Amino acid sequence: MPGFSRTELSKKTGWWASDQATLYFDDVRVPIDNLMGPENRGFLAIMDNFNGERLGLVAGSLGMMKACLEDAISWAQQRKTFGKTLIQHQVIRHKIAEISVRIDVVEAYLNQICASIENGENPVAEISKAKFFATKSLEYVVSEAVQILGGAGYMRGCRIENIFRDYKVMAIGGGSEEIMRDLAVRQMGL
């Protein structure tokens, strides 16, 4: 349509595969045939979409955490320092245990939320809490995974390095951690 233009967002830290842009609508006239849904109801449609988006970000964060654990364990089983593999060092074993428990908690919470949705419930508070807990857990997990891999975890081409670049957008998308905390408390009636 005349008046519509876009500018590519080319300097993003992560999510390089996601085609994002700033969209400009300068005196754009949209024919009624192009209306998506009822007029003046777009905000409500966006709000209805948020819970699904947030749940997807929880699931995505979980998948990223599992990838970090898998790669950290693989590296720790192969890499030797001071005459033994990393996995034989207590400090590395403790890091792996902490990563694993955070994964278990996020996965259990996600399963619980999905079960309540399947039962016809709309668990907005739980989705909000899961979203900020999952993204904070991902932040911890990817940082620990990079520590386990050392310099190799910071090199381009390493899956953990990619997750390290991409994890922050998980915390921002669908509503920031701060918004999720506030929404959760409001949904709790406080």
Reported as a single tens digit per residue, the pLDDT across 150-172 is 999 999 989 999 999 999 999 99
Each residue's pLDDT tens digit, 113-146: 999 999 999 999 999 999 999 999 999 999 999 9
Return the closest-CA partner of residue 55 out of 163, 137, 136, 175: 175
Q: In this structure, what DSSP letter does residue 175 have? A: S
Classify strands 4-8 and 80-81 as parallel, antiparallel or unpaired: unpaired
CA-nearest of 181, 54, 22 to 122 is 54
Catalytic residues: 53
The answer, yes or no, to whether residue 98 has pLDDT greater than 90, is yes
Q: What is the mean pLDDT of residues 50-77?
A: 97
- Provide the percentage of residues in the chain whose pLDDT is more than 90: 80
Provide the whole-model pTM.
Answer: 0.87
Domains of the chain, with CATH numbers?
A: 52-187 (1.20.140.10)
